């Protein structure tokens, strides 16, 4: 069994290749829910949906989120009504949020609903929200209030300085059913190239997770989301700097060193391998840009071989 710690796009890309080299039924992805939000009364879980749609080959390839071939009639109508339109929800995508919200209101847990959605898409991978309880990433802006993750990421286009990040609800959250077992029992734990500060940190903030990760350090392999000093997309580079870390593979290594045994960095950063190892993490250099499923599969194989 392989267990992956997953955010959104970076994780989805790696998992899409991993299912080519490992039977999907042997993979459990523990997914961030700190990005979740309620809009129009609907429970939106962007990271779960990005992973699910990508694995179903239904993702919009241009944006990396939402469904391919989407239409936007509901958003257009909302605009006319003066409703909230800064967060785009496609017509087909809305069905996912309607279904999720309805089932949650009936009393089903988020993990249960996620399993139902995954089955409806015909996937065999196990997607487990890190917790069924409330977990909300909040960012304190340097020149402004504390905002929720989607306000920061979408409405403000992550173009604002951040002074601090916290995970509301984390102390009281229980790990989702199967989360600690998936960490304890995995042959390899893969940390996807997701944003360390706002995608992986919320998972680690759920009580019990860090302790379990520390026990498994030798079996944990991460892929750096930072290549040549920059994130391929999104604010991982900027947030690392704002948290006092270098925006580099060395900064990523330092961020994870207390519980990660091996870090895969891109060929572009080969010369930083000794500096990564100086942080106390074994370093592997490989091509890590997942521009095709084949490249993602090759990277997955490298990651799995790292602790085989
Ligand atoms: P989000 O939740 O959709 O923002 O996505 P994640 O937190 O999973 O991922 C964002 C990170 O994924 C960014 O820091 C990107 O640099 C990284 N990423 C995306 N695609 C790739 C890729 O092909 N290779 C690597 N190494 N990182 C990637
Ligand atoms: Ca995310």
In ligand 1, the atom with minimum distance to the C-alpha of 192 is 8
Same domain membership, residue 160 and residue 33: no
Q: What is the mean pLDDT of residues 211-223?
A: 98
pLDDT, residue 217, reads 98
Same domain membership, residue 96 and residue 13: yes
**Residues less than 5 Å from ion ligand 2, measured at CB:** 7-8, 35, 47
Pocket test for ligand 1, best of 44, 150, 195, 299 (most atoms within 8 A of CB): 195
pLDDT, residue 132, reads 98
pLDDT, residue 308, reads 79
Is the pLDDT reported for residue 157 higher than 90? yes
Same domain membership, residue 252 and residue 154: no
In ligand 1, the atom with minimum distance to the C-alpha of 231 is 16
Q: What percent of the chain has pLDDT over 90?
A: 98
Whole-number average pLDDT of the chain:
97
Cα(39) to centroid(ligand 1), Å? 25
CB atoms under 10 Å from CB of 23, counted, come to: 10
In ligand 1, the atom with minimum distance to the C-alpha of 193 is 27
Domain termination site, one of 164, 179, 202: 164
Same domain membership, residue 117 and residue 76: yes
Domain termination site, one of 119, 144, 164: 164
Task: Read off the pLDDT of residues 130-147 as tens digits, 9 standing for 90 and up.
Answer: 999 999 999 999 999 999
Are 200 and 191 within 8 A, CB to CB?
yes
- Identify the residues whose C-beta falls under 6 Å from ligand 1: 7-11, 13, 47, 50, 193-195, 199, 223-225, 227, 231-234, 236, 288-290
Q: Which long-range contacts (CB under 8 A, 24 or more apart) does 273-276 make?
A: 275/249, 275/250, 276/249, 276/250
Give the CATH number for residue 17: 3.40.50.10680
pLDDT, residue 158, reads 96
Q: What is the mean pLDDT of residues 238-263?
A: 98
Same domain membership, residue 152 and residue 264: no
Same domain membership, residue 115 and residue 22: yes
Task: Read off the pLDDT of residues 42-54 as tens digits, 9 standing for 90 and up.
Answer: 999 999 999 999 9
Are 201 and 225 within 8 A, CB to CB?
no
In ligand 1, the atom with minimum distance to the C-alpha of 200 is 7
* DSSP assignment string, the chain: -EEEEE-SHHHHHHHHHHHHHS-GGGEEEEE--TT-EEETTEEE-HHHHHHHHHHTT-B-TTTSSSBTT---HHHHHHHHHT---SS---HHHHHHHHHHHHHHHTT--HHHHHHHHHHHTT--SEEEESBSS--EEEEEETTS-EEEHHIIIIISTT-S-EEEEEEETGGGPPBPTTHHHHHHH-SEEEE-S--IIIIIHHHHTSTTHHHHHHHTGGGEEEE-SEETTEESSSSHHHHHHHTT--SSHHHHHHHHTTT-SEEEEEGGGGGGHHHHHHTT-EEEEE----SSHHHHHHHHHHHHHTT-
Q: What is the mean pLDDT of residues 143-159?
A: 96
Is the pLDDT reported for residue 167 higher than 90? yes
Structural domains counted in the chain? 2
B/e letters for 94-116, b = 16+ CB within 10 Å, e = fewer, are bebbebbbebbeeebbbbebbbe
Same domain membership, residue 251 and residue 145: no
Are 29 and 191 within 8 A, CB to CB?
no
Cα separations in angstroms, 290 against 135, 247, 264, 287 = 29, 20, 13, 8
Cα(165) to centroid(ligand 2), Å? 14
Cβ-in-10-Å burial (0-12, 13-18, 19+) of 61 comes to exposed
Cα(199) to centroid(ligand 2), Å? 6
In ligand 1, the atom with minimum distance to the C-alpha of 199 is 7
Ligand in nearest proximity to the CA of 35: 2
Pocket test for ligand 1, best of 6, 7, 9, 240 (most atoms within 8 A of CB): 9
Q: What is the mean pLDDT of residues 5-32?
A: 98
Query: How far is 257 from 251, CA to CA, in rounded Å?
Result: 10
Q: What is the mean pLDDT of residues 180-192?
A: 98
pLDDT, residue 255, reads 98
Cα(12) to centroid(ligand 1), Å? 9
Same domain membership, residue 125 and residue 187: yes
Cα(201) to centroid(ligand 2), Å? 11
Cα(56) to centroid(ligand 1), Å? 18
Task: Read off the pLDDT of residues 63-119 as tens digits, 9 standing for 90 and up.
Answer: 889 999 999 999 999 999 999 999 999 999 999 999 999 999 999 999 999 999 999
Cα(81) to centroid(ligand 1), Å? 35
Q: What is the mean pLDDT of residues 1-9?
A: 98
pLDDT, residue 140, reads 98
Cα(238) to centroid(ligand 1), Å? 13
Residue of the nearest CA to atom 1 in ligand 1?
A: 8
Same domain membership, residue 205 and residue 230: yes
In ligand 1, the atom with minimum distance to the C-alpha of 237 is 14
Q: How confident is the model at residue 127 (pLDDT cuts 50, 70, 90)?
A: very high
Same domain membership, residue 158 and residue 237: no
Token output for 157? 């286009």
Are 179 and 2 within 8 A, CB to CB?
no
Tell whether pTM > 0.85.
Answer: yes
Same domain membership, residue 97 and residue 210: yes
Residue ranges making up the domain that contains 24: 2-135+170-305
Same domain membership, residue 154 and residue 20: no
């Amino acid at each position: 069994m392989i267990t992956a710690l997953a955010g959104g796009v970076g994780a989805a890309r790696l998992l899409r290749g991993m299912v080519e080299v490992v039977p999907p039924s042997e993979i459990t992805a523990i997914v961030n829910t700190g990005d979740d939000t309620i809009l129009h009364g609907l429970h939106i879980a962007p990271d779960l949906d990005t992973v699910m749609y990508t694995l179903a080959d239904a993702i919009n390839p241009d944006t990396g989120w939402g469904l391919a071939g989407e239409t936007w009639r509901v958003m257009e109508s909302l605009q006319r009504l003066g409703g909230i339109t800064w967060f785009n929800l496609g017509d087909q995508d809305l069905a996912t949020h309607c279904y999720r919200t309805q089932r949650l209101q009936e009393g089903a847990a988020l993990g249960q609903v996620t399993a139902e959605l995954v089955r409806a898409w015909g996937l065999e991978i196990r997607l487990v929200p890190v917790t069924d309880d409330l977990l909300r990433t909040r960012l304190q802006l340097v020149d402004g209030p504390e905002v929720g993750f989607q306000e920061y990421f979408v409405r403000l286009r992550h173009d604002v300085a951040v002074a601090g990040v916290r995970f509301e609800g984390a102390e009281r959250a229980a790990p989702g059913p199967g989360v600690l077992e998936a960490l304890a029992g995995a042959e390899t734990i893969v940390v996807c190239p997701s944003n360390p500060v706002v995608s992986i940190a919320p998972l680690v903030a759920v009580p019990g997770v860090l302790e379990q990760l520390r026990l498994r350090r030798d079996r944990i392999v991460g892929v750096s989301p930072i290549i040549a000093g920059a994130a391929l997309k999104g604010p991982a580079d900027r947030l690392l700097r704002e948290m006092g870390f270098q925006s580099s593979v060395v900064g990523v290594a330092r961020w994870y060193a207390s519980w990660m045994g091996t870090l895969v960095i891109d060929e572009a950063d080969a010369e930083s391998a000794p500096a990564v190892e100086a942080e106390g993490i074994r370093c592997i250099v490989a091509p890590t840009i997942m521009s095709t499923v084949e490249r993602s599969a090759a990277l997955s194989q490298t990651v799995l071989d790292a602790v085989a």
